[in-house]
Amino acid sequence: MVDFTLWDIVRNLLLAARWTVVLSLIAFVGGGLVGAALLVLRLWGGRRSHAFVAGYVQLFQGTPLLMQLFLAYFGIALFGIQTSPWFAAALALTLYTSAFLTEIWRGCVASIPRGQWEAAVSLALDFLEQLRYVILPQATRIAVPPTVGFLVQVIKGTALASVIGFVELTKAGTMITNATFRPFTVYACVALMYFVLCFPISAWARSLERKLHARR
């Protein structure tokens, strides 16, 4: 039997952690784009699109991410497309992220006083101009801290992709455990790496929030 040193374990985990980072970025950027589109749809559209976005958010916030991953994994196969854990994980996490981000941002837009919209209308700006020049510059400032904070949730969410066979940090931990029989050390290292990844972002989000409140 091969002996594994602590460095062997850490090195392999670090290599796998790259995929945690890549998957998080894909989900965050993709989810941000879809979330922004949903936000515009909700603000702009009529009652039906309003209900659609509300239902979408309820659906993704009210069901386990793990089930969403399974459904994406087996659902894509139903269309006769060769599915891969990569694609299924990226798709499910993007949709999940978009639902949360659109809800966070909706709250930020809602906190802009009505008078701002009315003022923009009275300047004869059309809807997109109202958003672009009046509402979004103010809403963005409020939206940054919770959005950064949600990035932590996305990174932690990618750990579930391990269950459908995507090899990232957690899956690598399981594989290394099966080879080394040292679950305590391996999972402690895995947890520590997630912590090193997430804690600075949490702290950053907190400091952004403090600054925002201080300025008011």
Give the x-and-dash track for 124-153 against other proteins (CB under 8 A): ----------------------------x-
Confirm or reject binding of residue 182 to other proteins (CB under 8 A). yes
Confirm or reject binding of residue 46 to other proteins (CB under 8 A). no
123 conformational bin, left if phi > 0, alpha if psi -120 to 50, beta if neither: alpha
Confirm or reject binding of residue 62 to other proteins (CB under 8 A). yes
Look up residue 64 and give its DSSP letter. -
Q: Which of 70, 86, 87, 127 binds other proteins (CB under 8 A)?
A: 70
Helix (H, G, I), strand (E, B) or coil at 181: coil
Q: Which of 1, 47, 79, 214 binds other proteins (CB under 8 A)?
A: 79
Rounded to whole angstroms, the Cα distance separating 9 from 185 reads: 9
Residue 117 near residue 139, CB atoms below 8 Å: no
Rounded to whole angstroms, the Cα distance separating 184 from 169 reads: 15
As a residue count, the chain comes to 216
Residue 103 near residue 119, CB atoms below 8 Å: no
Q: Which of 44, 51, 63, 111 binds other proteins (CB under 8 A)?
A: 63
Nearest-approach distance from CB 67 to other proteins, in angstroms:
4
Of the candidates 87, 102, 86, 85, the one whose C-alpha atom is nearest the C-alpha of residue 41 is 102
Vertex 73, ends 71 and 79: CA angle to 5°? 90
Confirm or reject binding of residue 75 to other proteins (CB under 8 A). yes
Q: Which of 123, 133, 165, 199 binds other proteins (CB under 8 A)?
A: 199
Nearest-approach distance from CB 76 to other proteins, in angstroms:
10
What residues line the site for other proteins (CB under 8 A)? 59, 62-68, 70-71, 74-75, 77-79, 152, 156-157, 159-160, 162-163, 170, 173-174, 177, 182-184, 186-188, 190-191, 194-195, 198-199, 202
